[in-house]
Amino acid sequence: MKKLILSAAAALLLAFGARADEGMWLLPLLQKMNINAMNELGCKLSAEDIYSINNTSLKDAIVQFGGGCTGEIISDKGLLVTNHHCGYGSIQSLSTPEHNYLEDGYWAMNNAQELPVPGLSVKFLKAMKDVTKIVQKHPEKKQELVKEAEQDYPGCEASVVSFYNDNVNYLIVYAVYKDIRFVGAPPACSGKFGGETDNWMWPRHTCDFSMFRVYAGKDNQPAEYSEDNVPYTPARSLKISLKGIQDGDYAMIMGYPGRTSRFKTASQLKANLATNDISIEARTLRQKLMWEAMEADPTVRLQYASKYAGSSNGWKKWIGMKKAVAKLKIVEREAEKEAEFMKWVGKNKKRTEKYGYALDSIDFYVNAMLPSMTAITRYFETVGRIELFDFADTFESIYKKEVKNGSSEADALKAAFDKVAPLYKDYYEPLDRLEAASLSELYNNNSAEENRGEINVGYLFDNSVFTNVKKLEEAVAKGHEAIAADPAVTLSEKGLEIYRRLYKDYGKYAKRVSALSKVYTAGMLEWQKDQPSYPDANFTMRLTYGTVKSYEPKDGVLYKHYTTLDGVMEKKDNSNYEFRVPAKLEEVWKAKDFGDYAMPENGKVPACFLINCDITGGNSGSPVMDAEGNLIGLAFDGNWESMSSDIMFEPDLQRCICVDIRYVLLLMDKVGGAGYLRDEMNIVK
C-alpha cells in the first residue's frame, strides 16, 4: 500500500484558531488545522487516532449508509447502528401487512433471523489523497488516477472529488459492502416518536435508531449476497460509553454530511429560496392527499410511509429555512460580506483582474437562468411526482437500453417488466389518480403557456396498462407496440420533452455560474486565508467537534441540554398516531426497570441531548463520541431556530439533536428483548 502524502490542499486551507463549534473538517488535515483546538477543548485523542491511512483509526468504524446517511460499527461481528429514519426505507421494503416490521418493530434473535436487504450497501473510507496540483494542471488525468488507486486497493472503488467549487481535488477510495442484513429496530411509534410535529424541534424524545449487520465473503472482502457470507470483521469498532454526558462535555461527530451552501452568493441564495417556495407549495398539496389516504387505510400507510417521510422532511426544513433566513437576515449579511470582499479586491490591480468580474457575472447568469430553474423545479415537484409517469418512463428507458445493447424484443420487455413490477408493492392507484389531478392543475396554473401540457386524468388512468402489475404483464405478452402507444408513455414523453428544453436553457447558464463560482471561491479563500476554512459538505467524511450545550431560542426561554423518558410519557397520546407509546416501554418505565441505562444522579433514563456541532443532512446516524472516542449517542436532527445553517452557521442557536445511546440500548434490551446483542458490544462504564 502506498503512503499518501498531503500537500497542496493543506497549504491552501491551513487555518489557525479554528472555532470549536463551526466546521465540517477534512480528516486528512486534522493534524495541521484542528487537533490543538480539539485537545484544548477536552479531546484526549491524537489526529492519528481519528484518521490514519497506515493504521487502524476511528474512521474505520464509520460508514456511509445507503448513500444518504451515516452508520457506525459497534461490534467485532459487523453490527451496525444508524438512525431509524435512515433504515426506514429498507425496513419498509421488507415489511408486509402480515409482517409489518416498520410499525411493530423487529429483532432477530440469531444470525439466521437477520433479513437481507436487496440494494442496500455501505462504504468504508480507505484513503483520501490530495491531487489538486495534478488535476488543476491535467484534468484529463482523473481517470488515470482512479485506475491507479483501484489497482493499489484491490476490490475498492475510487473517484476524484472536488471541494471549494473545484479549487481543491481529492482522490477518495472506498470499500463497498453490498450484503447488509436487517437486525432490528423499535416500532415506528418509538423510532419516529413525535412524527412530523416534533421533526426539527426541541425538546425531543425520539429513539431514532435501527441496527443492521455487514456481511462479507469468507476472506472478509466485499461480496454480493450469499448464504455462505459471514459477518464482517471490522478493522475497528466503536466502544460504547454508559458514563453519560454533562453540560459542557467535549463531543465530536464523524460522518457524511450531504450538501451545504456556504460559498454561494446572495443572488444564488435568493434563487434557491425561490425554488424552495415552489417545492413547499407542491408538497403541501401532495402530502395532504397522502396523509388522508394513509390515515384511512393501514395498508396504504405502510405503502407510503417512506415516501411521505422523505417528502415531508425536506418540506418542513425549507419552511424553517425561509423563516430563519428572514429573521437572521442571512441574505443581507451575505451581501454585506460580498461588499467587503469587493473592497479588498479593488485595493489591488492584480486582484481586480483576477476576481473583480466574478460577482457581477454570477449575478447576471443566475438571473438569466432563474426562469428555467424555477420551471424545472415546478415540473419535478408536480407532474414529475405522478407515479404512473415514473413507471412508464422507467419501463421505456430499460426497454430501449436493452434493445440498443442487442437484446431481442421479448428479452427487453422482460427486463423492463422485472424492473417495474416490484414498484407496485408500494403503489396505490386511487391516491396516484388524486395526486395527478391536483398536481397537474397546480403545474398548469403556474407555468408559462409553452411549458403547459393538458392531462385528462380520467382517460389516462382508465386506459393505461401501468395502473397495476397484472395489466402490465398482459400488455408485455402482446409485444411492445401497444405499450409504446400507452397514454402514460406518450404523456410522459411530452413532459420529458418540456424538461429537456428547459434543462438545455438552464444548463448553458449553470455551466457559466459554476466556472465563475470557482473564481469567486478562490478569491474568498485568499481574502480569508488567516481565518478558519472548510469546504462545503459534499457527502465525503468529515469531523465536527464542540460541546454538549443548552441554548436560548428567545428571550426568557432556556432549553436544557437533555430530555428523559419521563417526557415521552408526558407527550403520550395513543389516539394520536405520532405520539403513541409501546405498552412494553410504559411497563418498563413504571417498573423503573432501567438497569445501568439510567442516569446515576437522578435514576431517570436519558432520551435525547444537544451538542453545538456543525451538521447537515447526511449526518443522520453519525456517531456522537466523547473525548476518548467512545459512542455516547447518534446524531439525528437539527433544531428549528437554525434552519438556515446550511447557508450560515449560527453559534448561539445551532444545535445538533442526538439520541442518547443509553436510550437506544434500553429499547433494544429491556423493550425489544434483544439483550444478547449487548454481549457483542464493548461497553465502557
Strand partners, 609: 562, 658
> CA 288 to CA 285: how far, in whole Å?
5
> CA 314 to CA 636: how far, in whole Å?
14
User: Domain range holding 365?
Assistant: 266-525
138 catalytic? Reply is no
Residues in contact with 503: Cβ distance below 8 Å, sequence separation at least 6, in sequence order: 372, 376
Which of 504, 525, 546 lies at the terminal end of a domain, its last residue?
525
**pLDDT value at 75 more than 50:** yes
Q: What is the pLDDT of residue 532?
A: 73
Q: What is the pLDDT of residue 99?
A: 97
Residues 574-589: tens digit of each pLDDT: 999 999 999 999 999 9
pLDDT band at 19 (very low <50, low <70, confident <90, very high): low
pLDDT band at 18 (very low <50, low <70, confident <90, very high): very low
**Is the residue at 408 inside a domain?**
yes
Q: What is the pLDDT of residue 15?
A: 36
Which of 41, 70, 468 is closest to 256 using CA atoms? 70
Which of 462, 494, 525 lies at the terminal end of a domain, its last residue?
525
**Is the residue at 531 inside a domain?**
no
| Whether residue 125 is found in the same domain as residue 20 | yes
| Whether residue 153 is found in the same domain as residue 292 | no
**Is the residue at 145 inside a domain?**
yes
Residues in contact with 486: Cβ distance below 8 Å, sequence separation at least 6, in sequence order: 392, 463, 464, 465, 466, 475
Q: What is the pLDDT of residue 454?
A: 87
Q: Is the peptide bond before 203 cis (omega within 30 degrees of 0)?
A: yes
277 catalytic? Reply is no
**Is the residue at 170 inside a domain?**
yes
| Whether residue 207 is found in the same domain as residue 136 | yes
| Whether residue 130 is found in the same domain as residue 179 | yes
Residues 333-363: tens digit of each pLDDT: 999 999 999 999 999 999 999 999 999 999 9
Residues in contact with 280: Cβ distance below 8 Å, sequence separation at least 6, in sequence order: 315, 318, 319, 322
Residues 285-328: tens digit of each pLDDT: 999 999 999 999 999 999 999 999 999 999 999 999 999 999 99
Q: What is the pLDDT of residue 306?
A: 95
> CA 420 to CA 472: how far, in whole Å?
9
Q: What is the pLDDT of residue 17?
A: 37
pLDDT band at 3 (very low <50, low <70, confident <90, very high): very low
Among 21, 57, 60, 85, the active-site one is 85
**Is the residue at 2 inside a domain?**
no
Domain count of the fold of the chain: 2
Q: What is the pLDDT of residue 13?
A: 47
CATH of the domain at 557: 2.40.10.120
Which of 505, 525, 545 lies at the terminal end of a domain, its last residue?
525
Percent of the chain with pLDDT over 70: 97
- Given a contact cutoff of 8 angstroms between Cβ atoms, the answer to whether 165 and 521 are in contact is yes
Residues in contact with 296: Cβ distance below 8 Å, sequence separation at least 6, in sequence order: none
**pLDDT value at 10 more than 60:** no
Residues 592-617: tens digit of each pLDDT: 999 999 999 999 999 999 999 999 99
Give me the residue label for grid cell 481535488: 169
**pLDDT value at 16 more than 60:** no
| Whether residue 471 is found in the same domain as residue 585 | no
85 catalytic? Reply is yes
**What is the DSSP pairing of strand 240-241 with strand 250-255?**
unpaired
> CA 292 to CA 436: how far, in whole Å?
15
pLDDT band at 20 (very low <50, low <70, confident <90, very high): low
| Whether residue 315 is found in the same domain as residue 246 | no
Whole-number average pLDDT of the chain: 95
**pLDDT value at 8 more than 60:** no
Residues 144-177: tens digit of each pLDDT: 999 999 999 999 999 999 999 999 999 999 999 9
- Given a contact cutoff of 8 angstroms between Cβ atoms, the answer to whether 634 and 209 are in contact is yes
Residues 639-671: tens digit of each pLDDT: 999 899 999 999 999 999 999 999 999 999 999
| Whether residue 163 is found in the same domain as residue 46 | yes
**Is the residue at 3 inside a domain?**
no
- Given a contact cutoff of 8 angstroms between Cβ atoms, the answer to whether 305 and 92 are in contact is yes
| Whether residue 585 is found in the same domain as residue 459 | no
Residues in contact with 53: Cβ distance below 8 Å, sequence separation at least 6, in sequence order: 1, 3, 4, 126, 127, 128
**pLDDT value at 209 more than 90:** yes
| Whether residue 307 is found in the same domain as residue 438 | yes
**Is the residue at 184 inside a domain?**
yes
- Given a contact cutoff of 8 angstroms between Cβ atoms, the answer to whether 454 and 434 are in contact is no
Among 208, 363, 393, 637, the active-site one is 208
| Whether residue 248 is found in the same domain as residue 312 | no
> CA 51 to CA 435: how far, in whole Å?
48
Among 93, 440, 620, 622, the active-site one is 620
**Is the residue at 530 inside a domain?**
no
| Whether residue 484 is found in the same domain as residue 521 | yes
Residues in contact with 335: Cβ distance below 8 Å, sequence separation at least 6, in sequence order: 266
| Whether residue 277 is found in the same domain as residue 234 | no
Q: What is the pLDDT of residue 218?
A: 97
Q: How many C-beta atoms lie closer than 10 Å to residue 227's C-beta?
A: 7
Percent of the chain with pLDDT over 90: 95
> CA 461 to CA 388: how far, in whole Å?
8
**pLDDT value at 6 more than 50:** no
